[in-house]
Structure 1
Amino acid sequence: MEENELVSISQGTLTIMNPTTPEKVIAAGRAAGLREGSRVVETGCGNGTILSLWGREYGISGIGIEAREDACRRATEMLRDAGLDGRITVRCMDAREYVPDEPFDCAASIGASHIRGGFEATLDALLGLVHDEGTIVIGDRYWRSDRTPPEFAREWPDVRTEYEILGAVREVGLDVAAVVRSDGNDWDRYESGIWQAVLSWLGDHPDHPDRDFMVAYLHRLQDEYFGYGREHMGWAMYVLVPGFW
C-alpha cells in the first residue's frame, strides 16, 4: 500500500494526528509568542487542526503545506468552518519544494519531521522559512534515555534523545524556550485512535487485496507500542527562539 494512503487510513480521522491535546498546542503557541498578525507556516499540516487552533486563539495568518490531497481538503474545510479561510490558506504540495515569498514570524513542523528525514534536517529547513527573529515549533518523538533496546532503536534511526535534540538546537544558534510534553494518556489516546481506524477499515473492506498487509500493520504497531514504545519513546513540542550567543 502506498504510504500516503496508509497514513490517510490510519490517522486521517484523528482530530490531531499526534499524541497531544488542543490545550498543549495552544500552550506551545503561547510560548512561541504568537499574537494577532503573526504569520505562521506549518509544513505537513495534516487536517489543519494546529493552524485552526492558533488562528482562533491568537489571530495568526499564514500557510499550511500538505502533500496528501484528502488532508488538504479536510484542512481547507476546517479552516473555512473556523472562519479562518481568509487568513490561513493550504498549499497542496511537497513541503520540500515550498519557497516562501517572504519570511515568516514562526515556522512549525508538528509530527512531520519524516518529510525531511529527521529532527536536524527539519530544523534546518524551518530556519530557512523565518526571519532572523522568528521562532520555530517542532513536535517530534524522542528516546527517553540512551539505553533503548537496540532491536527497537534500529527500527527508528531518525529518533534522538532529548540531549541530542538540545545539542542540535544549540548547534544552529537557537535556544529552547519551552517544551510541551505529551503524557501516557496522550500516547494511549493517539495509538488507540490509529488502531480503531485500521480496525474500522478492515471491517469495511473484507475482500480488499491489502487486507493481510493491514492486519500485519496493525499487529506490528501494537507489538511496538506494548513491547517498547510506551516505555522508551516520548513525544514533545519544542519551542525554539534565537539564542544569546
Structure 2
Amino acid sequence: MDLPRQFTIRESSHRVRNPIDEAKLATFGAALRLPPGSSVLDLACGSGELLCTWARDHGCTGLGVDISTVFLASARARAEELGVASQVSFVHADARGYVASAPVDVAACVGATWIGDGVEGTVSLLRQSLRPGGVMVVGEPYWRLPPPDQATIEGCDALHSETFTSLPELVERFGALGCDVVEMVLADQDSWDRFEGPKWLNLRRFLDANPDDDLADEFRAELRTAALNHVRYRREYLGWGVFALMDR
C-alpha cells in the first residue's frame, strides 16, 4: 500500500502538498486560535507540515495518517527538525474510514476528500473523530470561473470536476451538512504558482538524472504541456481553499 512513484517524484521538494503555501498554512493555524495542547488528527497528512508547524507554533499534539511511505518519512524528519517529535506521530495507513482512538479537538482532511468519496462523506468521516465543539478542517477545490469547455476541465486536471462548484455553492454545501464555516483561507494565483512550478523543476531534474527511467517518457510528455496548461487554465479557472467548520 503506497502512492505511485509519479506523485512522490513530482512533489519531491514540496512541504505543503496543495496550493495553500506555507505562509497561508501559518495564517490559517493562527486564525483558529487553538489552545496549547489541542489535539489534531490529519487524514492524508502528506509530509506533515500542518501538524509539525502547528505543534511548534501553537503547542498542538497530533496524529497524521497517510498512504505514502515517502511522505511519512519526510513528515517524521520534519518533526525532528522542528523539535516536535514528542508532540506528533505518524501512521502508515489508508485514511479512508480512519477514526481516532479518542476524540480530537481538530479533525482535518486538507485536499484529499476522495477519502470520503467527496465533501459530504469526508465531513461525515471527520465527525466520527471529533469531540463536541471541535473543529473540522477541509481543503477543497472550486471553480473561480465557470469552465467554458472540456479542454479547460482537462487542462485543470479536474478529474472529478462533476463535484466542483463555485465558492458560494461550496459554502452552501457545508451549510447543508449542518456546519457553520467559521474560518477560511483561499489560495491565490501566486500560491498556485508555488505549488505547480516546483513540480516542473522536479520532473526536469529527475529526467536529467534518470533519462532511461520507466517514467521518463510520461514525464517528458507532461513537461511539454504542464506550464502552458497552468497559465492557460488552472491559474485562471480553478480555486482552492481551506475551511474550518463547526457543527451547529
* TM-score (normalised: structure 2): 0.90
Does residue 1:38 correspond to 2:43, yes or no? no
Q: Which runs of 5+ in 1 are unaligned?
A: none
Q: 1:15-47 CA distances to partner (integer Å, 9 max, x unpaired)?
A: 211222333212212333322010001111111
Q: 1:165-192 CA distances to partner (integer Å, 9 max, x unpaired)?
A: 1122111211111221122111111111
Does residue 1:175 correspond to 2:175, yes or no? no
Give the C-alpha shift of residue 97 in structure 1: 4.1
Does residue 1:12 correspond to 2:12, yes or no? yes
Structure-2 change in CA distance of 1:150 and 1:115 (3 Å): farther
Is the Cα–Cα contact under 8 Å of residues 116 and 122 in structure 1 kept in the other structure?
yes
Q: Secondary structure of 2:207's match?
A: helix
User: 1:48 maps to what in 2?
Assistant: 48
Does residue 1:79 correspond to 2:84, yes or no? no
Does residue 1:28 correspond to 2:28, yes or no? yes
User: 2:95 maps to what in 1?
Assistant: 95
Aligned sequence identity (%): 28
Task: Quote the Cα distance in structure 2 between the aligned partners of 1:150 and 1:122.
Answer: 29
Give the C-alpha shift of residue 153 in structure 1: 3.2
User: 2:113 maps to what in 1?
Assistant: 113
Is the Cα–Cα contact under 8 Å of residues 72 and 90 in structure 2 kept in the other structure?
yes
Q: In the alignment, which of 213, 218, 226 is matched to residue 213 of structure 1?
A: 218
Is the Cα–Cα contact under 8 Å of residues 28 and 137 in structure 1 kept in the other structure?
no
User: 2:199 maps to what in 1?
Assistant: 194
Give the C-alpha shift of residue 120 in structure 1: 2.7
Does residue 1:148 correspond to 2:153, yes or no? no
Task: Quote the Cα distance in structure 2 between the aligned partners of 1:119 and 1:197.
Answer: 31
Does residue 1:64 correspond to 2:72, yes or no? no
* TM-score (normalised: structure 1): 0.91
Is the Cα–Cα contact under 8 Å of residues 10 and 197 in structure 1 kept in the other structure?
yes
Is the Cα–Cα contact under 8 Å of residues 107 and 135 in structure 1 kept in the other structure?
yes
Runs (4+) of structure 1 moved beyond 4 Å? none
Is the Cα–Cα contact under 8 Å of residues 97 and 125 in structure 2 kept in the other structure?
no
Q: Which amino acid aligns with 1:191?
A: E
Q: Secondary structure of 1:95's match?
A: coil
Give the C-alpha shift of residue 122 in structure 1: 2.1
Task: Quote the Cα distance in structure 2 between the aligned partners of 1:122 and 1:205.
Answer: 38
Give the C-alpha shift of residue 101 in structure 1: 1.1
Does residue 1:239 correspond to 2:240, yes or no? no
Matches within 5 A, 1:120-159: 120-145=120-145, 147-151=146-150, 152-153=152-153, 156=158, 157=161, 158-159=163-164
Q: In the alignment, which of 180, 183, 189 is matched to residue 184 of structure 1?
A: 189
Q: Secondary structure of 2:4's match?
A: helix
User: 1:226 maps to what in 2?
Assistant: 231
Q: 1:120-174 CA distances to partner (integer Å, 9 max, x unpaired)?
A: 33222212221221101112221013x2123033752243321221122111211
Q: 1:62-121 CA distances to partner (integer Å, 9 max, x unpaired)?
A: 100111001111111111222211111001111114232111110111222233333333
Task: Quote the Cα distance in structure 1 between the aligned partners of 2:144 and 2:138.
Answer: 17
Structure-2 change in CA distance of 1:189 and 1:23 (3 Å): closer
Of 122-131 and 37-46, the range deviating more from structure 2 = 122-131
Is the Cα–Cα contact under 8 Å of residues 9 and 202 in structure 2 kept in the other structure?
yes
Task: Quote the Cα distance in structure 2 between the aligned partners of 1:22 and 1:35.
Answer: 21
Does residue 1:166 correspond to 2:133, yes or no? no
What is the CA RMSD across the aligned residues, in angstroms? 1.9
What is the count of residue pairs matched by the alignment?
241
